[in-house]
Chain A
């Protein structure tokens, strides 16, 4: 009788195949089972047949704990579960489906990073990854993200006021607007490499604010959420949070902040100018051409039967703080 005792140096079965392929093989089998059972009727809602061919690794992006001043409302407000906030994202750079960014962004590189602050500033700045997390004191703010698609999430953001950064660079009198630009990296962002995957947006994604909006104390740059650094699908390493504006203004993975004299053309406005404006203030009175903005569904824990429709508030509830900036402006025209 021959007894085989594997030596330490001897290759195990899974060592022969590259581990990535080995794992992928399993996921292919899993997907095939799923596709076989329900592709005919269920449609592509959950699984794409073509997923089989995409090379996805099952590694997860590592987020790190942050030190920050906690929001006073902690514990008194019901938050959207972190799992939901990190798996329901509009970040077309990683695909147009809500589940795409969480799937496709896990290998996104955020370190090294460079954020440049330039244009009509006294002293242009360049911040690297550590600067983003350490050069300004971090605070937590629990804010409801109201998407233009009429859903919302309550998320504890961690960051610093944009004004603090702009003041460091020195805001002269020439800058009337602030233009923000997302990273362009088609090798990492499949939506930028393929026009169809990216929903037709002309990349890189651009957003803009008026200078008074940018300097408003409510406007913040977030580097974290739920106590940790941002995962890539939520805009790592740094994104904008403008609580009284629709989510598409909250630009993600920013590489450039530029003070300009002219109003920048923001990406969604460029793509569909009659549906998305420059201001994009949350406004229950002004409907999107294709759906009502009068109410929203608040995504929290709870399934299909949870009664989660709530009325939408003017300026997302921050009217007292920000309405003054728009005196004399026709908000119906400037939607």
Chain B
């Protein structure tokens, strides 16, 4: 791995370099957006209600990242982009990171650590219940994302991570339910979620045809 070969025909952008570059791009942009957001919010430079803005932006950011993560495999297959496929986990983990920020910001800045209120809101408000379900699922997927877990879980890993297809429908539901009557944006997200699921129609057909294997 560390030997340096100098062949004239070798392309400048090798696979590892492409991965490295793309990952660097993901790290920088995802973190920069967060730093910029919280810097502005803390210094009251984010409109009239920085609390709402932070919660909304981290939520939408996480949803966008989920959609991007789900777009990876169809894109990588179609255009044969191995480097993109191998950066997918990082994108998924950033989606989880944004979800953490979203939940923490809601608890810390909206409810201002009124934990009894948080508890009762999770139980009483369906859209927050849905949000918490999504967060638990994302947590489960993030925890099982290292290679070690993937090896240990074998075939079950893929089954577990198929929960992504449920998550991508639950997040727009959470969004749709939280708005007053301005439903266009959530509807657009539903549409994008269905597009991502449509790419996987063959996979779903397989899943449905097979009898459920309970031993697994």
Query: In the bound complex, what is the Cα–Cα distance between A85 and B48 (angstroms)?
Result: 7
Per-residue CB proximity of B165-202 to A under 8 Å, as 1/0?
00000000000011011111100000000000000000
Per-residue CB proximity of B100-126 to A under 8 Å, as 1/0?
000000000111101001001100111
Cβ contacts under 8 Å, A46 to chain B:
57
Cβ of B38 within 8 Å of any chain A Cβ, yes or no, is yes
Chain B residues touching A, majority SS: helix
Cβ of A228 within 8 Å of any chain B Cβ, yes or no, is no
Other 10 A-B pairs with CB < 8 A, given A41-B30, A41-B33, A43-B61: A42-B33, A43-B57, A87-B48, A92-B181, A98-B49, A272-B181, A290-B125, A303-B46, A304-B41, A304-B54
Tell me the number of A-to-B contacts counted with CB atoms below 8 Å: 108
Closest chain-B Cβ to A89's Cβ sits at a distance in Å of: 9
Cβ contacts under 8 Å, B109 to chain A:
304-305
Count chain A residues whose beta carbon lies closer than 8 angstroms to a beta carbon of B: 42
Query: In the bound complex, what is the Cα–Cα distance between A40 and B121 (angstroms)?
Result: 31
22 A-B pairs with C-beta separation under 8 A: A41-B29, A42-B33, A92-B182, A96-B180, A96-B181, A97-B182, A98-B49, A98-B52, A99-B47, A151-B49, A151-B52, A199-B181, A272-B181, A287-B124, A292-B121, A297-B51, A302-B44, A304-B46, A304-B50, A304-B51, A308-B51, A308-B112
Q: Which 10 A-B pairs have the closest CB atoms?
A: A43-B60, A88-B48, A96-B182, A303-B44, A84-B48, A304-B41, A199-B181, A45-B57, A309-B112, A304-B50
Cβ of A38 within 8 Å of any chain B Cβ, yes or no, is yes
Query: In the bound complex, what is the Cα–Cα distance between A304 and B58 (angstroms)?
Result: 14
> CB < 8 Å: which of A45, A151, A308 contacts B53?
A45
Q: Is the CB of A45 within 8 A of B60?
A: yes
For the side of the interface on B, what is the size category?
35 or more
Q: Is the CB of B180 within 8 A of A199?
A: yes
Query: In the bound complex, what is the Cα–Cα distance between A323 and B64 (angstroms)?
Result: 48
Q: Is the CB of A44 within 8 A of B47?
A: no
Q: Is the CB of B68 within 8 A of A98?
A: no
Query: In the bound complex, what is the Cα–Cα distance between A88 and B41 (angstroms)?
Result: 15
Closest chain-A Cβ to B1's Cβ sits at a distance in Å of: 32
Cβ of B70 within 8 Å of any chain A Cβ, yes or no, is no
Q: Is the CB of B178 within 8 A of A290?
A: yes
Cβ of A271 within 8 Å of any chain B Cβ, yes or no, is yes
Q: Is the CB of A88 within 8 A of B61?
A: no
Query: In the bound complex, what is the Cα–Cα distance between A118 and B137 (angstroms)?
Result: 59
Cβ of B56 within 8 Å of any chain A Cβ, yes or no, is yes
Q: Is the CB of A41 within 8 A of B181?
A: no
Closest chain-A Cβ to B151's Cβ sits at a distance in Å of: 31
